[in-house]
Amino acid sequence: MRKWFSFPLKEGVTSHQAHCDLPEGTFERECGKEGFFGPATHMYHQHAPTGWSEWEGDLRPHAFDTNKVEEVGDNPMAAPLLMSNPNVKVRLWRCNTAMKYLARNGDGDDCLFIHEGSGSLYCDYGHLSFTDGDYIIIPRSTNWRIEPDAPVTMLMIEATHGSYLNSDRGIVGEHAIFDPAMLEHAAIDERFIAQQSNTETWQVLLKSRDSMNRITYPFNPLDAVGWKGNLTVFRLNWRDIRPLMSHRYHLPPSAHTTFVANGFVICTFVPRPIESDPGALKVPFYHNNDDYDEVIFYHRGEFFSRDNIHPGMVTHHPCGFPHGPHPKAFAAGKKHAKKETDEVAVMIDTRMPLDMADAAKQTELDDYVLSWRTPPRNA
Protein backbone atom coordinates (compact mmCIF):
# COMPACT_ATOMS: atom_id res chain seq x y z
CA MET A 1 0.00 0.00 0.00
CA ARG A 2 1.46 3.33 -1.03
CA LYS A 3 0.45 6.80 -2.19
CA TRP A 4 2.06 10.04 -3.27
CA PHE A 5 2.70 12.79 -0.74
CA SER A 6 0.26 15.68 -0.88
CA PHE A 7 0.98 19.28 0.06
CA PRO A 8 -2.25 21.01 1.18
CA LEU A 9 -2.94 24.64 0.31
CA LYS A 10 -3.19 27.14 3.14
CA GLU A 11 -5.04 30.45 3.46
CA GLY A 12 -5.17 32.76 6.47
CA VAL A 13 -4.82 31.55 10.06
CA THR A 14 -4.74 27.77 10.39
CA SER A 15 -3.51 24.96 12.58
CA HIS A 16 -0.26 23.36 11.49
CA GLN A 17 -1.85 19.91 11.86
CA ALA A 18 -5.49 18.84 11.64
CA HIS A 19 -7.27 18.31 14.98
CA CYS A 20 -4.30 19.63 16.99
CA ASP A 21 -3.26 22.99 18.47
CA LEU A 22 -6.13 25.00 17.02
CA PRO A 23 -5.58 28.77 16.72
CA GLU A 24 -6.77 30.49 19.89
CA GLY A 25 -10.55 31.02 19.95
CA THR A 26 -11.27 29.05 16.75
CA PHE A 27 -13.40 26.04 15.91
CA GLU A 28 -12.16 23.52 13.35
CA ARG A 29 -14.49 22.07 10.71
CA GLU A 30 -13.48 19.28 8.34
CA CYS A 31 -15.02 19.35 4.85
CA GLY A 32 -14.38 15.93 3.35
CA LYS A 33 -15.27 13.73 0.40
CA GLU A 34 -16.09 10.00 0.52
CA GLY A 35 -16.47 9.94 4.28
CA PHE A 36 -13.01 10.23 5.78
CA PHE A 37 -11.22 8.60 2.84
CA GLY A 38 -11.23 11.37 0.22
CA PRO A 39 -9.73 14.85 -0.09
CA ALA A 40 -10.45 17.19 2.81
CA THR A 41 -10.04 20.80 3.88
CA HIS A 42 -10.01 22.09 7.44
CA MET A 43 -11.74 25.40 8.11
CA TYR A 44 -11.03 27.52 11.21
CA HIS A 45 -14.08 29.50 12.33
CA GLN A 46 -14.72 32.17 14.93
CA HIS A 47 -17.97 30.43 15.92
CA ALA A 48 -18.95 26.78 16.31
CA PRO A 49 -20.28 25.45 12.94
CA THR A 50 -23.25 24.01 14.85
CA GLY A 51 -24.14 27.30 16.50
CA TRP A 52 -27.41 27.82 14.64
CA SER A 53 -30.22 29.62 16.45
CA GLU A 54 -33.15 28.29 14.39
CA TRP A 55 -33.69 25.58 11.77
CA GLU A 56 -36.38 25.28 9.10
CA GLY A 57 -36.77 22.42 6.62
CA ASP A 58 -36.65 18.64 6.58
CA LEU A 59 -32.87 18.18 6.32
CA ARG A 60 -31.89 18.19 9.98
CA PRO A 61 -30.26 16.03 12.66
CA HIS A 62 -32.59 13.48 14.22
CA ALA A 63 -32.67 11.52 17.46
CA PHE A 64 -35.18 8.86 18.46
CA ASP A 65 -35.65 6.33 21.24
CA THR A 66 -35.95 2.67 20.26
CA ASN A 67 -37.02 1.84 23.84
CA LYS A 68 -40.38 3.34 22.85
CA VAL A 69 -40.77 1.37 19.60
CA GLU A 70 -43.89 -0.77 19.84
CA GLU A 71 -43.46 -4.50 19.46
CA VAL A 72 -45.08 -5.77 16.25
CA GLY A 73 -45.38 -9.54 15.81
CA ASP A 74 -42.90 -12.29 16.57
CA ASN A 75 -41.27 -12.54 13.13
CA PRO A 76 -37.82 -10.90 12.82
CA MET A 77 -38.31 -10.54 9.07
CA ALA A 78 -41.28 -8.24 9.80
CA ALA A 79 -39.70 -6.31 12.68
CA PRO A 80 -40.38 -2.54 12.85
CA LEU A 81 -38.31 -0.68 10.26
CA LEU A 82 -36.33 2.29 11.59
CA MET A 83 -34.62 3.55 8.43
CA SER A 84 -33.55 2.35 5.01
CA ASN A 85 -32.10 3.09 1.60
CA PRO A 86 -31.46 0.82 -1.42
CA ASN A 87 -28.37 -0.69 0.29
CA VAL A 88 -29.46 -1.16 3.91
CA LYS A 89 -32.49 -1.69 6.14
CA VAL A 90 -32.27 -1.13 9.90
CA ARG A 91 -34.86 -2.78 12.14
CA LEU A 92 -35.41 -3.34 15.87
CA TRP A 93 -36.70 -6.69 17.12
CA ARG A 94 -37.57 -8.04 20.55
CA CYS A 95 -37.93 -11.74 21.30
CA ASN A 96 -38.98 -13.16 24.69
CA THR A 97 -39.78 -16.79 23.82
CA ALA A 98 -38.22 -19.52 21.70
CA MET A 99 -39.03 -19.28 18.00
CA LYS A 100 -41.14 -22.25 16.86
CA TYR A 101 -40.35 -21.55 13.21
CA LEU A 102 -37.36 -20.57 11.08
CA ALA A 103 -36.61 -17.17 9.55
CA ARG A 104 -34.79 -16.67 6.26
CA ASN A 105 -33.81 -13.40 4.59
CA GLY A 106 -33.64 -13.76 0.82
CA ASP A 107 -32.87 -10.05 0.34
CA GLY A 108 -29.38 -9.86 1.82
CA ASP A 109 -26.99 -10.71 4.65
CA ASP A 110 -28.09 -9.78 8.17
CA CYS A 111 -26.02 -8.33 10.97
CA LEU A 112 -27.72 -8.80 14.34
CA PHE A 113 -26.42 -6.65 17.18
CA ILE A 114 -27.60 -8.01 20.54
CA HIS A 115 -28.48 -4.95 22.62
CA GLU A 116 -30.01 -6.91 25.50
CA GLY A 117 -30.43 -10.56 26.47
CA SER A 118 -28.74 -13.85 25.74
CA GLY A 119 -29.56 -17.27 24.36
CA SER A 120 -28.87 -19.74 21.57
CA LEU A 121 -29.10 -19.35 17.82
CA TYR A 122 -29.77 -22.41 15.67
CA CYS A 123 -29.15 -22.21 11.95
CA ASP A 124 -28.22 -24.28 8.89
CA TYR A 125 -24.60 -24.33 10.11
CA GLY A 126 -25.29 -25.45 13.67
CA HIS A 127 -25.64 -23.96 17.14
CA LEU A 128 -24.17 -20.67 18.41
CA SER A 129 -24.62 -19.16 21.86
CA PHE A 130 -24.86 -15.38 22.16
CA THR A 131 -25.00 -12.61 24.75
CA ASP A 132 -25.41 -8.86 24.92
CA GLY A 133 -22.87 -6.97 22.84
CA ASP A 134 -22.54 -9.70 20.20
CA TYR A 135 -22.60 -9.05 16.50
CA ILE A 136 -23.97 -12.07 14.62
CA ILE A 137 -23.42 -12.21 10.85
CA ILE A 138 -25.97 -14.34 8.98
CA PRO A 139 -25.38 -14.99 5.25
CA ARG A 140 -28.26 -14.38 2.87
CA SER A 141 -30.92 -17.13 2.72
CA THR A 142 -29.73 -18.89 5.87
CA ASN A 143 -32.44 -20.58 7.97
CA TRP A 144 -32.22 -19.54 11.64
CA ARG A 145 -34.09 -19.21 14.91
CA ILE A 146 -33.26 -18.23 18.49
CA GLU A 147 -34.09 -19.54 21.94
CA PRO A 148 -33.63 -16.71 24.49
CA ASP A 149 -32.28 -17.36 27.97
CA ALA A 150 -33.26 -13.78 28.81
CA PRO A 151 -35.47 -11.39 26.80
CA VAL A 152 -33.61 -10.29 23.68
CA THR A 153 -33.56 -6.87 22.01
CA MET A 154 -31.53 -6.68 18.81
CA LEU A 155 -30.68 -4.18 16.13
CA MET A 156 -31.02 -5.86 12.72
CA ILE A 157 -28.94 -4.39 9.88
CA GLU A 158 -29.70 -5.88 6.46
CA ALA A 159 -27.11 -5.56 3.67
CA THR A 160 -29.79 -5.41 0.97
CA HIS A 161 -28.70 -7.45 -2.06
CA GLY A 162 -25.20 -7.45 -0.57
CA SER A 163 -22.79 -9.18 1.79
CA TYR A 164 -20.71 -8.34 4.85
CA LEU A 165 -16.95 -8.27 4.40
CA ASN A 166 -13.97 -7.64 6.66
CA SER A 167 -12.45 -4.16 6.59
CA ASP A 168 -8.99 -3.55 5.16
CA ARG A 169 -6.61 -3.04 8.10
CA GLY A 170 -3.86 -1.64 5.89
CA ILE A 171 -0.47 -1.07 7.50
CA VAL A 172 -1.63 -2.11 10.98
CA GLY A 173 -2.13 -5.71 9.83
CA GLU A 174 -4.85 -8.36 9.93
CA HIS A 175 -4.75 -8.84 13.72
CA ALA A 176 -5.37 -5.19 14.60
CA ILE A 177 -8.70 -4.08 16.10
CA PHE A 178 -9.79 -7.71 16.49
CA ASP A 179 -7.96 -10.94 15.83
CA PRO A 180 -9.89 -13.17 13.37
CA ALA A 181 -9.34 -15.94 15.92
CA MET A 182 -11.99 -14.20 18.06
CA LEU A 183 -14.71 -14.97 15.51
CA GLU A 184 -16.79 -17.89 16.78
CA HIS A 185 -18.75 -19.87 14.19
CA ALA A 186 -21.88 -21.99 14.50
CA ALA A 187 -21.05 -25.60 15.35
CA ILE A 188 -22.73 -28.96 14.89
CA ASP A 189 -22.66 -29.83 18.57
CA GLU A 190 -24.84 -31.88 20.92
CA ARG A 191 -27.42 -29.10 21.29
CA PHE A 192 -27.78 -28.79 17.53
CA ILE A 193 -28.21 -32.55 17.10
CA ALA A 194 -30.73 -32.67 19.97
CA GLN A 195 -33.05 -30.16 18.31
CA GLN A 196 -33.32 -32.13 15.06
CA SER A 197 -36.63 -33.87 14.41
CA ASN A 198 -38.07 -35.97 11.58
CA THR A 199 -41.63 -35.99 12.93
CA GLU A 200 -42.52 -32.37 13.69
CA THR A 201 -43.88 -29.89 11.12
CA TRP A 202 -41.73 -26.79 10.70
CA GLN A 203 -42.34 -23.57 8.82
CA VAL A 204 -39.82 -21.20 7.27
CA LEU A 205 -40.82 -17.53 7.00
CA LEU A 206 -38.88 -16.33 3.97
CA LYS A 207 -38.56 -12.62 3.15
CA SER A 208 -37.85 -11.94 -0.52
CA ARG A 209 -38.26 -8.61 -2.33
CA ASP A 210 -39.82 -7.33 0.90
CA SER A 211 -42.65 -9.85 0.67
CA MET A 212 -43.25 -12.77 3.03
CA ASN A 213 -43.39 -16.39 1.96
CA ARG A 214 -44.28 -19.37 4.15
CA ILE A 215 -42.68 -22.75 3.44
CA THR A 216 -43.84 -25.85 5.37
CA TYR A 217 -41.71 -28.95 5.94
CA PRO A 218 -42.75 -32.25 7.56
CA PHE A 219 -39.37 -32.22 9.36
CA ASN A 220 -36.93 -29.75 10.89
CA PRO A 221 -34.84 -28.27 8.03
CA LEU A 222 -31.96 -27.74 10.48
CA ASP A 223 -30.90 -31.35 9.93
CA ALA A 224 -27.29 -31.04 8.73
CA VAL A 225 -24.87 -33.71 9.88
CA GLY A 226 -21.79 -31.84 8.68
CA TRP A 227 -20.40 -29.11 6.45
CA LYS A 228 -17.08 -27.74 5.19
CA GLY A 229 -16.22 -24.41 3.60
CA ASN A 230 -15.57 -20.78 4.47
CA LEU A 231 -19.13 -19.39 4.54
CA THR A 232 -20.95 -19.62 7.86
CA VAL A 233 -22.78 -17.81 10.65
CA PHE A 234 -20.37 -16.24 13.14
CA ARG A 235 -20.28 -13.80 16.04
CA LEU A 236 -18.00 -11.10 17.40
CA ASN A 237 -18.49 -9.30 20.72
CA TRP A 238 -17.55 -5.65 21.21
CA ARG A 239 -15.52 -6.73 24.26
CA ASP A 240 -13.14 -8.51 21.86
CA ILE A 241 -12.45 -5.30 19.92
CA ARG A 242 -9.19 -3.51 20.77
CA PRO A 243 -9.52 -0.09 19.14
CA LEU A 244 -6.83 1.86 17.35
CA MET A 245 -5.69 4.76 19.52
CA SER A 246 -3.42 7.78 19.36
CA HIS A 247 -2.60 9.84 22.43
CA ARG A 248 -1.66 12.82 20.23
CA TYR A 249 -4.39 12.80 17.54
CA HIS A 250 -8.15 12.20 17.52
CA LEU A 251 -8.76 9.41 15.01
CA PRO A 252 -11.79 9.64 12.67
CA PRO A 253 -14.67 7.14 13.02
CA SER A 254 -13.40 5.22 9.98
CA ALA A 255 -10.54 3.94 12.18
CA HIS A 256 -13.16 1.95 14.09
CA THR A 257 -14.68 0.17 11.05
CA THR A 258 -15.82 -3.37 11.91
CA PHE A 259 -17.77 -4.56 8.83
CA VAL A 260 -18.01 -3.34 5.25
CA ALA A 261 -20.95 -3.87 2.85
CA ASN A 262 -22.13 -2.42 -0.44
CA GLY A 263 -22.78 1.28 0.13
CA PHE A 264 -22.22 1.39 3.90
CA VAL A 265 -19.93 0.46 6.77
CA ILE A 266 -20.54 -0.53 10.40
CA CYS A 267 -18.17 0.93 13.00
CA THR A 268 -17.94 0.14 16.72
CA PHE A 269 -17.08 2.66 19.42
CA VAL A 270 -15.75 0.95 22.56
CA PRO A 271 -14.14 2.28 25.76
CA ARG A 272 -10.65 3.72 25.27
CA PRO A 273 -8.27 6.27 26.80
CA ILE A 274 -8.94 9.87 25.74
CA GLU A 275 -6.10 11.68 23.96
CA SER A 276 -3.59 12.95 26.50
CA ASP A 277 -1.51 15.36 24.40
CA PRO A 278 -2.35 18.94 25.53
CA GLY A 279 -2.88 20.17 21.97
CA ALA A 280 -4.96 17.28 20.64
CA LEU A 281 -8.75 17.45 20.36
CA LYS A 282 -10.42 15.33 23.06
CA VAL A 283 -13.81 15.01 21.33
CA PRO A 284 -14.88 14.32 17.72
CA PHE A 285 -14.08 17.22 15.42
CA TYR A 286 -16.79 19.24 13.67
CA HIS A 287 -17.20 17.95 10.14
CA ASN A 288 -19.49 18.03 7.13
CA ASN A 289 -19.07 14.51 5.75
CA ASP A 290 -21.16 15.62 2.79
CA ASP A 291 -21.20 12.22 1.06
CA TYR A 292 -22.49 10.00 3.89
CA ASP A 293 -25.40 9.77 6.31
CA GLU A 294 -24.25 8.93 9.86
CA VAL A 295 -26.32 6.84 12.27
CA ILE A 296 -25.30 5.89 15.82
CA PHE A 297 -27.08 3.35 18.03
CA TYR A 298 -26.14 3.83 21.68
CA HIS A 299 -25.68 0.49 23.44
CA ARG A 300 -24.29 1.41 26.86
CA GLY A 301 -22.32 4.01 28.79
CA GLU A 302 -22.23 7.78 28.45
CA PHE A 303 -21.50 8.97 24.92
CA PHE A 304 -18.83 11.62 25.43
CA SER A 305 -19.80 13.93 22.54
CA ARG A 306 -23.57 14.05 23.21
CA ASP A 307 -25.85 15.34 25.98
CA ASN A 308 -28.99 13.60 27.28
CA ILE A 309 -28.46 10.41 25.28
CA HIS A 310 -29.19 7.06 26.94
CA PRO A 311 -28.86 3.39 25.86
CA GLY A 312 -31.30 2.38 23.14
CA MET A 313 -31.39 5.80 21.51
CA VAL A 314 -30.37 6.49 17.91
CA THR A 315 -29.06 9.66 16.27
CA HIS A 316 -29.21 10.26 12.53
CA HIS A 317 -27.15 13.03 10.93
CA PRO A 318 -27.96 13.22 7.20
CA CYS A 319 -25.22 14.42 4.87
CA GLY A 320 -25.26 18.08 3.91
CA PHE A 321 -24.63 20.10 7.08
CA PRO A 322 -21.90 20.42 9.73
CA HIS A 323 -22.21 18.48 12.95
CA GLY A 324 -20.06 17.53 15.90
CA PRO A 325 -19.97 17.56 19.70
CA HIS A 326 -22.62 19.27 21.77
CA PRO A 327 -21.47 22.52 23.46
CA LYS A 328 -21.16 21.01 26.96
CA ALA A 329 -19.21 18.03 25.59
CA PHE A 330 -16.88 20.34 23.66
CA ALA A 331 -16.23 22.42 26.79
CA ALA A 332 -15.63 19.29 28.89
CA GLY A 333 -13.16 18.04 26.29
CA LYS A 334 -11.13 21.24 26.58
CA LYS A 335 -10.92 20.79 30.37
CA HIS A 336 -9.76 17.17 29.90
CA ALA A 337 -11.19 16.16 33.26
CA LYS A 338 -12.29 12.78 31.90
CA LYS A 339 -9.39 10.48 30.98
CA GLU A 340 -11.23 7.68 29.20
CA THR A 341 -14.49 6.99 27.42
CA ASP A 342 -17.01 4.41 28.64
CA GLU A 343 -19.49 4.36 25.77
CA VAL A 344 -20.30 1.44 23.46
CA ALA A 345 -22.09 2.37 20.25
CA VAL A 346 -22.75 1.02 16.77
CA MET A 347 -22.30 3.47 13.90
CA ILE A 348 -23.72 2.96 10.40
CA ASP A 349 -22.34 5.24 7.68
CA THR A 350 -24.28 5.05 4.41
CA ARG A 351 -23.31 6.39 0.98
CA MET A 352 -26.97 6.83 -0.06
CA PRO A 353 -29.34 9.02 2.01
CA LEU A 354 -31.47 7.19 4.56
CA ASP A 355 -35.25 7.48 4.85
CA MET A 356 -36.69 7.38 8.35
CA ALA A 357 -39.60 4.97 8.79
CA ASP A 358 -42.66 5.34 11.02
CA ALA A 359 -41.10 3.50 13.99
CA ALA A 360 -38.36 6.15 14.11
CA LYS A 361 -40.60 9.13 13.41
CA GLN A 362 -43.04 8.13 16.14
CA THR A 363 -40.32 8.10 18.79
CA GLU A 364 -38.33 11.15 17.61
CA LEU A 365 -37.15 13.94 19.90
CA ASP A 366 -38.55 16.99 18.14
CA ASP A 367 -36.12 19.51 19.64
CA TYR A 368 -32.91 17.54 19.00
CA VAL A 369 -31.93 19.93 16.20
CA LEU A 370 -31.71 22.76 18.76
CA SER A 371 -29.55 20.84 21.23
CA TRP A 372 -26.41 22.54 19.81
CA ARG A 373 -27.83 26.03 20.30
CA THR A 374 -25.69 28.34 22.42
CA PRO A 375 -26.14 32.01 23.39
CA PRO A 376 -24.12 34.57 21.40
CA ARG A 377 -20.65 35.33 22.76
CA ASN A 378 -21.62 38.89 23.65
CA ALA A 379 -24.85 37.84 25.41
Domain 27-63+244-370 grouped into CATH 3.30.70.1060: no
Give the per-residue pLDDT at 328: 79
Over residues 273-288, mean pLDDT? 89
- In which band, very low, low, confident or very high, does the pLDDT at 148 lie, cut at 50, 70 and 90? very high
Question: What is the phi/psi pair of residue 172, to 5°?
Answer: -85, -10
Q: How far is CA 182 from CA 104, 170, 189, 276, 352, in A?
A: 26, 19, 19, 30, 32
- Rounded CA gap, 118 and 97, in Å? 12
Give the per-residue pLDDT at 379: 38
Q: Which fold has domain 71-238?
A: Jelly Rolls (2.60.120)
User: What predicted TM-score, i.e. pTM, was given to this entire model?
Assistant: 0.93
Over residues 226-240, mean pLDDT? 97
Q: How many helices (H) and strands (E) does the chain have?
A: 3, 22
What is the number of other CB atoms lying within 10 angstroms of the CB of residue 379? 5
pLDDT at 61 over 80: yes
At 304-345, the pLDDT tens digits run 667 778 999 999 999 988 888 888 777 777 777 788 999 999
At 236-261, the pLDDT tens digits run 999 999 999 999 988 888 899 999 99
- In which band, very low, low, confident or very high, does the pLDDT at 377 lie, cut at 50, 70 and 90? very low
**Exposure b/e, 69-102, CB count within 10 A at least 16 = b:** beeeebebbebbbbbbbebbbbbbbbbeeebeeb
What does the domain layout of the chain look like in residue ranges?
27-63+244-370, 71-238
At 20-56, the pLDDT tens digits run 999 999 999 998 888 788 888 999 999 999 999 999 9
